[in-house]
């Protein structure tokens, strides 16, 4: 980024901490604010460890310089003073979000824009009452945002188009990959896509058609390989000699037939959950879950490093 900008992180839990790394890594000054006393300072300590991990994976050069840009502050007003942008990452509860947006509204500068990390609650549910609402939107990340660069920008009906474009520009400048929705829809893009796949995965197990393990392996050794560098539309564009229209004409009837056979959407019942849980726990005992999460993050770091090398050599 050109000139050094200040960004406020409001709520310094798992996601707020991740955002702090994104902005500080890109050269922004980052103010950390959390409603719980001591939480922002504690967050900075956890960030320090994450930065060491990123350095060990070759993803950042100087953790000390990144950390030096991150400052815990005691008040929301202090966090927001002079900030070009604020990323709200408080609890996923509509009343908590409504209250923090009232508090933000009381002290925000006239130019600051605010993105909410909200996973499912649309901005229209917690920004209608505030004067700064035209400068608010959802900016939904995937955890951790410093390894998974996607950010879903979802405007409320009253979000100004200039807000969406400015936040998009900022996100690109700090190395994220924004995608934009034209209006609110439950689950945004990522979880709507994930929902379709997950619904079908559970249904296949319920119908006794395959094990949970083989469904995971189908993604791990099949679909997921391509999906880590291109999406479903590009995948099918390259999967027929004449491109996507050719694919759609050849295989449209098959997909329509599959879709017609799976219109019922059962809620995952307890018996089914118990079956899949038993299968997963046989493969990964509960006491090894935390260790496996660390393994996942290291794999993600290795993948991020690989993708960065490939993208650099393609330039
Ligand atoms: N966990 C994920 O994988 C994930 C991914 C994407 C988005 N999100 C979204 O990000 C947001 C934060 O999730 P998280 O997992 O970091 O939660 P978290 O519980 O780890 O952290 C929330 C933080 O917000 C603070 N907080 C709560 N109320 C506050 C207030 N009024 N003022 C200031 N600080 C306050 C809490 O003290 C806590 O430190 C949620 O909206 C969540 O849905 C989560």
**89: CA distance to ligand 1 center in Å?**
4
- From the CB of 36, is ligand 1 less than 6 Å away? yes
**Residue in 157, 200, 147 with CA at minimum distance from that of residue 181:** 157
Query: What's the pLDDT score for residue 3?
Result: 63
User: Is the shortest distance between the CB of 75 and ligand 1 below 6 Å?
Assistant: no
Give every strand in the sheet of 177-180, ordered side by side: 70-72, 29-33, 6-10, 85-88, 113-116, 136-141, 150-155, 177-180
Does the beta carbon of 11 sit less than 6 angstroms from any atom of ligand 1?
A: yes
Mean pLDDT by groups of 10 residues along the chain of 315 residues = 82 97 98 98 97 91 97 98 98 98 98 96 98 98 95 98 98 97 96 94 94 98 95 96 97 94 79 95 96 91 89 80
Decide: 293 in ligand 1 pocket, CB within 6 A.
no
Task: Tell which atom from ligand 1 comes closest to the C-alpha of 97.
Answer: 31
E-strand ranges in 95-149 read 113-116, 136-141
Helix (H, G, I), strand (E, B) or coil at 64: helix
- Between the CA of 9 and the centroid of ligand 1 the distance, in Å, is 11
Considering the domain architecture, whether residues 228 and 95 belong to the same structural domain is answered as: no
pLDDT of residue 314: 80
Domain span at residue 266? 190-283
How many structural domains are present in the chain? 2
Q: Which residue has the tokens 């899949």?
A: 276
10 Å CB burial of residue 115 (0-12, 13-18, 19+) is buried
User: Do residue 11 and residue 140 come from a single domain?
Assistant: yes
**Which pTM does this prediction carry?**
0.93
For residue 13, report the distance from its CA to the centre of ligand 1, in Å.
Answer: 5
Which residue, 180, 208, 231, sits at the end of a domain?
180
Q: What is the pLDDT of residue 248?
A: 97
Residues 201, 205, 210, 215, Cα dihedral to 10°: 30
18 and 99 housed in the same domain: yes
Same domain, residue pair 138 and 250: no
- Token pair listed for 281: 């726990």
Parallel, antiparallel or unpaired: strands 6-10 and 85-88: parallel
Spatial separation of the C-alpha atoms in residues 89 and 16, rounded to whole Å: 5
pLDDT at 1: 52
Q: Are residues 13 and 80 in the same domain?
A: yes
35 lines ligand 1 (CB under 6 A): yes
Same domain, 208 and 70: no
Return the pLDDT at 57: 87
Q: Do residues 188 and 168 touch, judged by C-beta distance below 8 A?
A: no
Q: In whole angstroms, give the CA distance from residue 172 to residue 58.
A: 21
152 lines ligand 1 (CB under 6 A): no
Alpha helices in the chain (DSSP H): 14-25, 39-56, 63-68, 76-80, 94-107, 161-173, 190-206, 212-218, 224-227, 232-237, 243-261, 270-283, 289-314
- The answer to whether residue 169 is domain-embedded is yes
**Domain for residue 290, yes or no?**
no
Q: Supply the pLDDT for residue 91.
A: 98
Rounded CA separation 227/220 (Å): 10
Tokens of 88: 């709200």
């Amino acid at each position: 980024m050109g000139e050094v900008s200040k960004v406020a992180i409001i709520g310094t839990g798992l996601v707020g901490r991740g955002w702090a790394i994104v902005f500080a890594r890109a050269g922004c000054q980052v103010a950390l604010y959390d409603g719980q006393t001591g939480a922002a300072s504690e967050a900075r300590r956890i960030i320090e460890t994450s930065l060491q991990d990123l350095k060990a994976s070759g993803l950042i050069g100087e953790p000390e310089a990144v950390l030096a840009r991150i400052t815990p502050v005691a008040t929301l007003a202090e966090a927001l003073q002079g900030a070009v942008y604020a990323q709200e990452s408080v609890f996923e509860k509509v009343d908590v979000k409504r209250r923090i947006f009232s508090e933000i509204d009381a002290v925000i500068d006239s130019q600051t824009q605010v993105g909410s990390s909200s996973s499912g609650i649309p901005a229209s549910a917690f920004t209608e009452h505030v004067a700064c609402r035209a400068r608010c939107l959802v900016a939904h990340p995937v955890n951790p945002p410093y390894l998974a660069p996607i950010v879903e920008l979802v405007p409320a009906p009253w979000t100004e188009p200039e807000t969406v474009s400015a936040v998009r520009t900022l996100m690109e400048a700090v190395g994220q990959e924004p995608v934009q929705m034209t209006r609110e829809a439950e689950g945004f893009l990522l979880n709507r896509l994930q929902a379709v796949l997950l619904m079908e995965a559970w249904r296949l197990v319920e119908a006794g058609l395959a094990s949970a393990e083989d469904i995971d392996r189908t993604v791990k050794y099949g679909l997921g390989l391509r999906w880590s560098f291109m999406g479903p539309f590009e995948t099918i564009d390259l999967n027929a000699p004449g491109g996507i229209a050719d694919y759609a004409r050849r295989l449209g009837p098959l997909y329509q037939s599959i879709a017609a056979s799976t219109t019922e959407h059962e809620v995952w019942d307890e018996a089914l959950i118990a079956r899949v849980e038993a299968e997963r726990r046989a493969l990964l005992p509960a006491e090894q879950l935390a260790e496996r999460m660390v393994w996942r993050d290291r794999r993600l770091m290795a993948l991020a490093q690989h993708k960065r090398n490939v993208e650099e050599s393609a330039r």
